[in-house]
């Protein structure tokens, strides 16, 4: 590659006022707003090529919930009848069979899978068993390294956990968010702190090798004292890992609508306060023997608790997105499925891939994508970029690296680019400095 990405990436000031609302967390590059229906054909071309050597994974979207949380921006359907859920699960199984017939997928071993939502644990035991068995009939699941399943505290029950073990789940992630009952009610959660303790005990008794607990700092109404108590309670439980997200106010949430109408019961927590609480949480976890391994995660054992869904995907692995509105990345092409349940199911019924929009990444785009996502891990080694792309990323990103380094957000050595702790705490806000100029200052979604 002879053109320099850095030449297209003018540095931006990092002291600009941060918006209260909008998306913060960066999950993909280029931004989703750049994906179009016109590029869907690029995915079909990628699927028609011979199978590559890259790891392959699945993301399975299960969009059903008992109640939608105020801050949630994912597509979900509330309190649906069993027949609706059953029909959807049948469509997901048919979709993976359609994918598995393509040359780039057929016979290829599966490395990881992630069941997200929605609230996947609202499925019945029979439903999750049927779904798991149906998915395993298509790709090669034997020897799969990691299968994650999201659970909500109130829907954790022994028979369901036994079914998860049977279909091969190795990692359970439970959305706790806070241990303060008033905060949970205020932000639209259906569980209480006592539900977390009960569910965690059941998870440990079920024998899962990895239990992760999700927290959110900066919930509406949160105080320093409430946050410290949440960190204390989660440390007392001793989960294998803890994930902490900073609360966002995306435009398609009840939280955003309440903000605009003046109905919020308390002022939104500032970004600086959220980062200060995140830093305090990380420090307490480190004092208790955890290791911070990304901008969001602290783990007990970095060697045995390596989050493959994240690590593989951020390093260029392929991932098939299954289900309504699901996102995938395959052969250098981002894509998203149809975003309405009826449209998604109708496409699958016709024997068509239910893809709504896509984006084919150029070589430059792939370099930017992998670099910015890996920055979220805290350190990006230089050698893999030289080996895979034939580029020196310190040269390609020279201008933004110098600018951010001068402000203390990161450091550059002969072997890696490393985020400082203060840079890691705000890494999602810094990543657009590395974007191609056409993708800067655009809406993420």
Same domain, 248 and 148: yes
Same domain, 109 and 39: yes
Task: List the Cα angle 314/439/312 in 5-degree steps.
Answer: 5
Residue 217 has a pLDDT of 97
Residue 445 has a pLDDT of 84
- Bond from prior residue into 30 cis (ω within 30 degrees of 0): yes
Residue 126 has a pLDDT of 98
Tokens representing 445 are: 């979604």
Residue 4 has a pLDDT of 43
Same domain, 163 and 251: yes
Same domain, 300 and 411: no
Output the CA–CA distances (angstroms, integers) from residue 386 to 1, 393, 399, 415, in the order listed: 11, 8, 19, 11
Residue 8 has a pLDDT of 40
Same domain, 163 and 276: yes
- The Cα–Cα gap between 402 and 17 comes to 21
Same domain, 208 and 259: yes
Residue 109 has a pLDDT of 93
Specify the residue for token string 């890691």. 424
Residue 69 has a pLDDT of 86
Residue 2 has a pLDDT of 35
Q: Residue 2, Cβ neighbours under 10 Å: how many?
A: 5
Residue 32 has a pLDDT of 95
In a domain, 401, yes or no: yes
Q: Which domain holds residue 238?
A: 34-311
In a domain, 351, yes or no: no
Please enumerate in sequence order all residues whose Cβ is within 8 A of that of 138, keeping only pairs 6 or more positions apart, or say none.
93, 96, 97, 99, 100
Q: How many distinct structural domains can be found in the chain?
A: 2
Residue 82 has a pLDDT of 96
Residue 161 has a pLDDT of 98
Specify the residue for token string 């059903």. 64
Same domain, 52 and 7: no
Tell me the CATH number at 422.
1.10.10.920
Residue 152 has a pLDDT of 96
Tokens representing 180 are: 């303060």
- The Cα–Cα gap between 156 and 371 comes to 37
In a domain, 324, yes or no: no
Same domain, 264 and 116: yes
Q: In sequence order, what are the beta bridge partners of 336?
A: 327, 357
In a domain, 326, yes or no: no
- The Cα–Cα gap between 118 and 116 comes to 7
- The Cα–Cα gap between 346 and 12 comes to 45
Q: How many residues does the chain have?
A: 445
Same domain, 10 and 102: no
Return per-residue pLDDT of the chain as tens, 445 residues. 433 444 343 334 344 578 889 899 999 999 999 999 999 999 999 999 999 999 999 999 999 998 888 888 887 888 899 999 999 999 999 999 999 999 999 989 999 999 999 999 999 999 999 999 999 888 778 889 999 999 999 999 999 999 999 999 999 999 999 999 999 999 999 999 999 999 999 999 999 999 999 999 999 999 999 999 999 999 999 999 999 999 999 998 899 899 899 999 899 999 999 999 999 999 999 999 999 999 999 999 999 999 999 999 999 999 999 999 999 999 999 999 999 999 999 999 999 999 999 999 999 999 999 999 999 999 999 999 999 999 999 999 999 999 999 999 999 999 999 999 999 999 999 999 999 999 988 888 8
Cβ atoms 221, 266 nearer than 8 A = yes
């Amino acid at each position: 590659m002879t053109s320099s990405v850095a030449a297209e990436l003018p540095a931006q000031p990092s002291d600009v006022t941060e918006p209260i609302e909008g998306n913060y967390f960066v999950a993909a590059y280029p931004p989703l707003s750049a994906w179009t229906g016109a590029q869907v054909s690029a995915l079909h071309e990628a699927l028609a090529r011979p199978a590559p050597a890259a790891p392959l994974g699945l993301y399975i979207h299960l969009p059903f919930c008992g109640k939608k949380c105020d801050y949630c921006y994912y597509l979900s359907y509330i309190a649906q009848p069993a027949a609706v859920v059953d029909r959807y699960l049948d469509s997901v199984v048919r979709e993976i069979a359609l994918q598995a017939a393509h040359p780039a997928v057929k016979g290829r071993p599966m490395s990881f899978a992630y069941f997200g939502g929605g609230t996947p644990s609202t499925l019945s035991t029979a439903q999750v068993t049927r779904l798991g068995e149906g998915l395993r009939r298509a790709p090669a699941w034997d020897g799969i390294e990691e299968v994650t399943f999201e659970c909500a505290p109130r829907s954790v029950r022994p028979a369901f956990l036994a079914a998860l073990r049977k279909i091969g789940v190795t990692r359970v992630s439970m959305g706790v968010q806070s241990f303060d009952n008033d905060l949970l009610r205020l932000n639209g959660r259906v569980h209480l702190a006592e539900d977390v303790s009960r569910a965690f005990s059941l998870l440990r008794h079920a024998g899962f090798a990895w239990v992760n607990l999700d927290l959110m700092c900066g919930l509406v109404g949160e105080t320093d004292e409430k946050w410290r108590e949440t960190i204390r309670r989660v440390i007392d439980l001793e989960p294998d890992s803890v994930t902490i997200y900073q609360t966002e106010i995306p435009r398609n949430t009840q939280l955003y609508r309440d903000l605009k109408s003046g109905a919020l019961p308390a002022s939104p927590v500032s970004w600086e306060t959220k980062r200060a609480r995140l830093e305090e949480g990380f420090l307490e976890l480190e004092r208790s023997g955890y290791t911070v391994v990304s901008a969001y995660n602290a783990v007990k054992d970095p060697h045995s608790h390596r989050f493959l869904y994240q690590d593989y995907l951020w390093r260029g692995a392929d991932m098939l997105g299954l289900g309504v509105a699901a996102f995938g990345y395959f052969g250098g092409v981002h894509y998203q499925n149809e975003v309405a349940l009826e449209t998604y199911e109708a496409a699958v019924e016709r024997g068509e891939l239910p893809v709504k929009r896509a984006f084919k990444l150029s070589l430059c785009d792939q370099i930017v994508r992998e670099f910015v996502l890996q920055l979220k891990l805290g350190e990006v080694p230089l050698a893999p970029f030289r080996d895979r792309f034939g580029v020196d990323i310190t040269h390609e990103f020279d201008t933004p690296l110098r600018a951010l380094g001068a402000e203390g957000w990161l450091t550059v050595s002969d072997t890696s680019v490393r985020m400082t702790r203060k840079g890691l705490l705000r890494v999602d806000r810094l990543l657009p400095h590395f974007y191609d100029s056409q993708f800067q200052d655009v809406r993420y979604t």
